[in-house]
């Protein structure tokens, strides 16, 4: 158009190959919010609330956008979202529980994301619907997370039978997000029959995930510690199988040797699941080696535990532990949000930090204030 203003670097001789124009700005400021200061973000109010009944219907129909919205609602810390989230869970609860829940952990660099992409793609090819709940570590300084798992699982992220949801750990110990259990229920209601929970991979302290999955696998590397390191109580005795990953190329023979070493170690440990002998296996996510054998092991485990009743017994125990965890979280939240505690805590903290008061005495005074005991 003739009245369009061109940039100062515009070359009239090359007008046919130049499409950039300078558009006029908006004058008069923010007409809807005349009191708003220039350059400041104006927060919208009265946003449309999510309808839990409609959202539950869409999730049951397999709507991935609705599933993502539901998970965001569940993970929200806002008080006004709590009742809506609970209503959504109540409506979807009867449609959950029809999946095999698999926890995957291992030290950083063990190849968890690459393994999950290869394993998940294999399951999708078999006709399964796979949901990956990947938990990324949260910075203790900034509170931020990278959430880059979908980038590392590019092939699986494009698969229409897969759903990947990265979430920050939020400082939660155990390598999982505090709402991972609720998220699993939503993905099951959406029709996903294999749930993969990838933890942050911090080492032997990742044990909470054991209390929310049916099958727990530990990914290890060759040359990552001697046999005594493996013999330590902790995460080793919680695994239903140990996968020696990256068993390819010149590392293949070393991986096989490492597998035999772990099998000797596991022979002396009490099995994580009664009646099931935990064994070590090798795999190569890059070359797709061992993937089929791992899935066959998981299928055998599922059949065995369902026939013996251990599967349902473990699920009931996990629900009980979930209830206890929620009670503890709620009590902690109520304690620190109590008006009396807010007023008294800084004083007690200063007295304890300065060394003028024992910690136990300070705690006793805080609880007396919390329960309203003035004596």
Residue 197 domain-assigned (yes or no):
yes
- 269 and 225 both lie in a single domain: yes
List, for residues 154-191, the tens digit of each pLDDT value.
889 899 999 998 876 554 444 455 688 899 999 999 99
Q: Is 194 helix (H, G, I), strand (E, B) or coil?
A: strand
> For position 145, what pLDDT does the model report?
43
> For position 202, what pLDDT does the model report?
52
- 291 and 166 both lie in a single domain: yes
**Whole-number mean pLDDT of the chain?**
82
Residue 41 domain-assigned (yes or no):
no
CB-based contacts of 306, cutoff 8 Å, min separation 6? 312
Q: What share of the chain is helix, strand, coil (3-state, %, to 5)?
A: 50, 10, 40
- 133 and 227 both lie in a single domain: yes
The pTM assigned to this predicted structure is 0.78
Q: Is 215 helix (H, G, I), strand (E, B) or coil?
A: strand
Q: Are 123 and 299 in contact (CB under 8 A)?
A: no
Starting at the edge strand found earlier in the chain, the sheet holding 279-282 runs 162-168, 130-136, 194-198, 100-106, 215-220, 241-244, 279-282
- Exposed, middle or buried, 118 (CB in 10 Å: 0-12/13-18/19+)? buried
Residue 9 domain-assigned (yes or no):
no
Structural domain harbouring 83: 50-95
**Angle at 223 (CA atoms; ends 216, 174), nearest 5 degrees:** 35
CB-based contacts of 166, cutoff 8 Å, min separation 6? 134, 135, 136, 145, 147, 148, 149, 150
| Domain finish residue from 278, 307, 336 | 307
Residue 246 domain-assigned (yes or no):
yes
Residue 69 domain-assigned (yes or no):
yes
| Domain finish residue from 80, 95, 110 | 95
- 54 and 194 both lie in a single domain: no
Residue 43 domain-assigned (yes or no):
no
Cα-trace Rg, the chain: 27
- 258 and 328 both lie in a single domain: no
- 302 and 328 both lie in a single domain: no
Residue 6 domain-assigned (yes or no):
no
Which CATH number is 228's domain given? 3.40.50.300
Whether pLDDT at 251 is above 90? no
List, for residues 365-374, the tens digit of each pLDDT value.
999 999 986 5
- 213 and 88 both lie in a single domain: no
How far is CA 244 from its chain centroid? 23
List, for residues 27-62, the tens digit of each pLDDT value.
655 555 555 455 555 555 555 578 899 999 999 999
Residue 297 domain-assigned (yes or no):
yes
Number of domains in the chain: 3
List, for residues 191-215, the tens digit of each pLDDT value.
999 999 988 665 444 667 888 899 9
- 324 and 289 both lie in a single domain: no
Residue with tokens 């300078």: 22
69 pLDDT tier (thresholds 50, 70, 90): very high
- 103 and 85 both lie in a single domain: no
Proportion of the chain above pLDDT 70, given as a percent: 76
Q: Tell me what the mean pLDDT of segment 341-366 comes to.
A: 94
- 207 and 258 both lie in a single domain: yes
- 224 and 195 both lie in a single domain: yes
Which CATH number is 60's domain given? 1.20.5.170
List, for residues 81-126, the tens digit of each pLDDT value.
888 999 999 999 999 999 999 999 887 778 888 899 999 999 999 9
Q: Please give the Cα distance from 267 to 344 (Å, whole number).
A: 54
Backbone angles phi, psi at 196, to 5 degrees: -110, 120
- 69 and 106 both lie in a single domain: no
């Amino acid at each position: 158009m003739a009245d369009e203003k061109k940039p100062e670097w515009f070359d009239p001789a090359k007008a046919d190959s130049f499409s950039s124009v300078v558009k006029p700005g908006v004058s008069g400021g923010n007409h809807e919010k005349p009191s708003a200061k220039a350059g400041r973000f104006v927060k919208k109010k009265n946003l449309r609330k999510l309808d839990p009944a409609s959202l539950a219907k869409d999730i049951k129909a397999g709507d991935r956008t609705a599933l993502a919205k539901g998970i965001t609602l569940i993970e929200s810390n806002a008080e006004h979202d709590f009742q809506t989230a609970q209503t959504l869970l109540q409506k979807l609860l009867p449609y959950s529980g029809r999946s095999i829940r698999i926890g995957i952990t291992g030290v950083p660099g063990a190849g968890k994301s690459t393994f999950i992409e290869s394993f998940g793609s294999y399951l999708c090819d078999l006709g399964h619907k796979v949901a990956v709940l990947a938990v990324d570590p949260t910075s203790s300084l900034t509170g931020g997370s990278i959430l880059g798992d979908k980038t590392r699982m590019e092939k699986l992220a494009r698969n229409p039978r897969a759903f990947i949801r990265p979430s920050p750990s939020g400082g939660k110990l155990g390598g999982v997000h505090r709402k991972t259990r609720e998220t699993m229920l939503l993905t099951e209601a959406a029709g996903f029959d294999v749930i993969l929970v990838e933890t942050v991979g911090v080492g032997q302290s990742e044990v909470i995930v054991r209390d929310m999955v049916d099958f727990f696998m530990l990914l290890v590397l060759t040359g990552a510690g001697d046999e005594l390191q493996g013999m330590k109580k902790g995460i080793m005795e919680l695994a239903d199988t140990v996968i020696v990953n990256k068993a390819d190329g010149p590392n293949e023979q070393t991986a096989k040797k490492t597998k035999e070493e772990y099998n000797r170690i596991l022979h002396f440990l009490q099995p994580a699941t009664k009646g099931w002998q935990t064994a070590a296996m090798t795999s190569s996510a890059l070359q797709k080696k061992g993937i089929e054998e791992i899935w066959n092991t998981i299928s055998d485990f599922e059949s065995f535990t369902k026939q013996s009743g251990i599967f349902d017994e473990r699920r009931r125990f996990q629900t009980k532990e979930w209830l206890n965890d929620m009670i503890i979280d709620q009590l902690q939240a109520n304690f620190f949000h109590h008006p009396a505690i807010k007023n008294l805590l800084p004083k007690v903290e200063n007295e304890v930090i300065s060394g003028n008061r024992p910690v136990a005495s300070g705690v006793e005074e805080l609880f007396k204030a919390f329960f309203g005991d003035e004596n």
